[in-house]
Structure 1
Amino acid sequence: MRVFKFGGASVKDAEGIKNVYDVLQKVGYEDVLLIVSAMGKTTNALELVIKNYFDKSPELSSAVQEVKKYHNQIVMDLFEDEKNAVFAAVNSQFSDLEYFLANNKSPNYNFVYDQIVSFGELISTTILSHFMTFMGIQTQWLDVRNFIKTDANYRDAEVDWELTQKNISKNIKSKILNITQGFLGSDENNFTTTLGREGSDYTAAIFAYCLNAESVTIWKDVPGVMNADPRYFENASLLNQISYREAIELAFYGASVIHPKTLQPLQKKEIPLYVKSFINPLLKGTSVSKGVDLEPHLSCFIVKKNQLLISLSSIDFSFIMEENISEIFALFHRFKLKVNLIQNSAISFSVCVEDKFNNFNELNAILSKKFKVDFEENVTLYTIRHFNDTAAHTVEENKVVLLKQVSRETMQVVTKEI
């Protein structure tokens, strides 16, 4: 089987749904399993529903209606006949959502989040499945929660691989188009769970692993994986081939390639992953597979904006030793600052971090009792894999370099605009 994953941007409206049909006509749909995300910005809209629910806001009903209106418009654009079964199927999903909102007794935010946000994927796949049937393609709609079993760690659930393997290997029909949801699973009590960051890509990898699939294709609105973000670099080039190892390295440094947890199951069975364009589906795209690290062999640029550079030194000029570093990292963990670069000397210790939750002021008050703290806000961290002098010049030109670290394959530079 081949496993295809279509993200929210590819199914954001009726034209997107029709385009998925066109893609399948061009690349084939027999022995294919489609993993599909929520439509467009539906997850964000459902997060607003959750916020209103917990705030006991009078806006709750209108937030639900917005989600309903958005999906109903797509259904009406796709199906002229209001007697089509899709209308009842989508209404049934929304009835389930409203029933949960009216009857839930759990105060656990993460639990409630997973139960509500899951409707995005359930509704998108319901609409897509009915449209494929309407267009004459035999499909099987699958509720992914009957297949991927997890623990009860809501919003970041761990997969029970043994049970999941058993469910998938005995219940997926070949020879037809299978359609299911990304991002979701269920725990031992059959409550919905979600798989955390990049959950839909991970879903594709789970099914591919359990089915010994021929390949996984992630369909995007770009021609494949580029060596740099075109928003920041002119002349970004397409990478034809990336090895599993190199893709994991790039993801580690923050490239939006493929999340390592998606790659690991595929690497174990050497299942190739393709990143292709749903706009030009016959282009080759990028292959992530066993083989050469990069083809063509280019410098790869990763940019992280809005970083915070913190330098700590001993108040009494004593050495910063392991016990100090251990204590500092415990505080970073406690205040949820993500560390992206570390550099230390005998009497100082510097880190480039991401303060996503705006906790630095509180952390600084604690650190300042033991260390002299210097910091620079709104810096940019550039990571260059396979760097050369030209690549280094590109990121350093017209900037103040605050910190630089070089290893054999990778250069990291923290800069500030002049």
Structure 2
Amino acid sequence: MKIFKFGGASVKDAAGVQNLVKVLKEVGHDNTLLVVSAMGKTTNAMEKVVDCYFDGKNGLDAAIQEVITYHNDILVDLFNTDKHPVFGKVKVLFDEVQGFLAWNKSPNYNFVYDQVVGYGELVSTTILSVYLNEVGVKNSWLDVREFIKTSNNYRDALIDWEKTQARISEGVDKSKFYITQGFLGSDDNNFTTTLGREGSDYTAAIFAYCLNAKSVTIWKDVPGVLNADPRYFEDALLLNQISYREAIELAFYGASVIHPKTLQPLQRKEIPLLVKSFIDPNGNGTIVGKGTTLEPHVPCYIMKKDQVLMRLSSLDFSFIVEDNISALFKMLHDHKMKVSMIQNSAISFSVCIDNKFGRLEELLNLLKARFKVVCHEGVSLYTVRHFNSDALKTLQNGKEVLLEQRANETVQLVVK
């Protein structure tokens, strides 16, 4: 069986849905399970619904109506009428959202988030399944929450592999064509859970693992995995092949390749992962699998913008050792700082962090009570895997390098 995954960008409008059908007809869809994300920016819009709910319900009705109108416009474009039965199916789903928000008593943001935001995927797959049947691509719609069982760690649920394997083995006929949702699961009380970052890719990997799939294909709006983000680097090259290990290394440093949690179940069963373009479905794309580390073997560039570099040194010139470092990491963790790079010497400690949650000032006030602190905001962190001298010259040209760190195959530069 093959697993296909299409993200929100591929189904952001009626033309996207129609193109998805074209892709399926071109590459074939027998013995395939299709995992689909919410349409376009629906997840962001549903997050806004949750935020309005917790902000005293100001703007809640308008936020929900915005999502309903967006999907209804797509439905009209696809079905050329507002009388088609699919409108009723979609209305039922949005009624469930509004019903939940009306009777919910839980103050737990993460719980409410999972019960609401997941409807983006339920709506998108309902629309797509009906449309596929309408144009002659017969499929069966699956509610993924009946198959992927998880802990109740809402917004970042852990998979119960034993229960999930049993549900998928019993409920999925490998000879059929299915469509299901990414990102979602359910706990022992059948409340909806979500799988966290890159959850839809992870869903595809879970099904692949449990079904011993032939392959997983992630369909994107790029030709495959590139050696650099074309928004920031000219002449980005397509990587034909990457090993699982290399893909995990690139992801660790911040490349938008594939999340390690998606790769791990595939690696265990050596199931190849293909990254291909839904714009050019017959293009070669990239294969992530066992074997060649990287082909072609070229430098790979990763850039993280808007980082913060902090240099800490002891006030009394004492060593910065285990107890200091332990306290530092606890403070970073408590303030939800994502650490991108560290470097330390006997009396100093440098750390490059992502101030995603805006708590830098609060953290600095605590640090300055114990350390001498020099802080650089708005810096960029460049990581180059398989670097060479030309790659470094290109990065350093015209920039002030604040910190550099090298390993055998990787160099990192913090620059202004």
Scaled by the length of structure 1, the TM-score of the pair is 0.98
Task: Say whether 1:189 aligns with 2:189.
Answer: yes
CA distance in 2 between partners of 1:382 and 1:308 (Å): 13
Give, as a single letter, the amino acid of the residue that structure 2 aligns with 1:3.
I
CA distance in 2 between partners of 1:107 and 1:313 (Å): 42
* Deviation of the 1:85 alpha carbon: 2.6
* Deviation of the 1:368 alpha carbon: 1.2
* Deviation of the 1:82 alpha carbon: 4.4
> Which residue matches 1:395?
395
**Deviations for 1:298-343, whole angstroms, at most 9, x for unmatched residues?**
0000001111111111111111111111111111111111111111
CA distance in 2 between partners of 1:352 and 1:260 (Å): 22
CA distance in 2 between partners of 1:73 and 1:369 (Å): 56
Bigger shift: residues 94-103 or 135-144: 94-103
Task: Say whether 1:163 aligns with 2:171.
Answer: no
Aligned residues of 2:308 and 2:378 also touching (Cα < 8 A): yes
**Deviations for 1:186-244, whole angstroms, at most 9, x for unmatched residues?**
00000000000000000000000000000000000000010001111111100000000
> Which residue matches 1:84?
84
> Which residue matches 1:131?
131
Give, as a single letter, the amino acid of the residue that structure 2 aligns with 1:149.
K
Q: Name the SS of the counterpart of 1:233 in structure 2.
A: coil
Q: Map of 1:18-167 to 2, 5 A cutoff? A: 18-167=18-167
Q: Name the SS of the counterpart of 1:219 in structure 2.
A: strand
Q: Name the SS of the counterpart of 1:399 in structure 2.
A: coil
* Deviation of the 1:297 alpha carbon: 0.2
* Deviation of the 1:81 alpha carbon: 4.9
Give, as a single letter, the amino acid of the residue that structure 2 aligns with 1:391.
A
Aligned residues of 1:138 and 1:176 also touching (Cα < 8 A): no
CA distance in 2 between partners of 1:170 and 1:245 (Å): 32
Aligned residues of 2:183 and 2:194 also touching (Cα < 8 A): yes
> Which residue matches 1:412?
412
CA distance in 2 between partners of 1:386 and 1:116 (Å): 43
**Which ranges in structure 2 are unaligned for 5 or more consecutive residues?**
none
Aligned residues of 1:29 and 1:176 also touching (Cα < 8 A): no
* Deviation of the 1:175 alpha carbon: 2.6
Give, as a single letter, the amino acid of the residue that structure 2 aligns with 1:250.
L
> Which residue matches 1:206?
206
CA distance in 1 between partners of 2:118 and 2:326 (Å): 39
> Which residue matches 1:276?
276
Scaled by the length of structure 2, the TM-score of the pair is 0.99
Q: Name the SS of the counterpart of 2:400 in structure 1.
A: strand
Give, as a single letter, the amino acid of the residue that structure 2 aligns with 1:275.
V
Bigger shift: residues 333-342 or 79-88: 79-88
CA distance in 2 between partners of 1:81 and 1:401 (Å): 59
> Which residue matches 1:330?
330
CA distance in 2 between partners of 1:157 and 1:23 (Å): 32
Q: Name the SS of the counterpart of 1:106 in structure 2.
A: coil
**Deviations for 1:366-397, whole angstroms, at most 9, x for unmatched residues?**
11121111111111110000000000111111
> Which residue matches 1:386?
386
Bigger shift: residues 219-228 or 71-80: 71-80
Aligned residues of 1:224 and 1:276 also touching (Cα < 8 A): yes
Bigger shift: residues 155-164 or 317-326: 317-326
> Which residue matches 1:227?
227
Percent sequence identity over aligned pairs:
64
Task: Say whether 1:254 aligns with 2:254.
Answer: yes
Aligned residues of 2:75 and 2:82 also touching (Cα < 8 A): no
CA distance in 1 between partners of 2:348 and 2:56 (Å): 49
> Which residue matches 2:238?
238
CA distance in 1 between partners of 2:243 and 2:54 (Å): 45
**Which ranges in structure 1 are unaligned for 5 or more consecutive residues?**
none
* Deviation of the 1:59 alpha carbon: 1.5
**Structure 1 412/58 Cα, relative in aligned 2: closer, same or farther at 3 Å?**
closer
Give, as a single letter, the amino acid of the residue that structure 2 aligns with 1:92.
V
> Which residue matches 1:9?
9
Bigger shift: residues 76-85 or 141-150: 76-85
Bigger shift: residues 367-376 or 234-243: 367-376
CA distance in 2 between partners of 1:213 and 1:70 (Å): 35
CA distance in 1 between partners of 2:371 and 2:76 (Å): 63
Bigger shift: residues 79-88 or 116-125: 79-88
CA distance in 1 between partners of 2:101 and 2:347 (Å): 56
> Which residue matches 2:291?
291
> Which residue matches 1:361?
361
Q: Name the SS of the counterpart of 1:162 in structure 2.
A: helix
Give, as a single letter, the amino acid of the residue that structure 2 aligns with 1:197.
R
Bigger shift: residues 288-297 or 97-106: 97-106
* Deviation of the 1:83 alpha carbon: 4.5
CA distance in 1 between partners of 2:9 and 2:281 (Å): 15
Give, as a single letter, the amino acid of the residue that structure 2 aligns with 1:383.
T
* Deviation of the 1:174 alpha carbon: 2.6
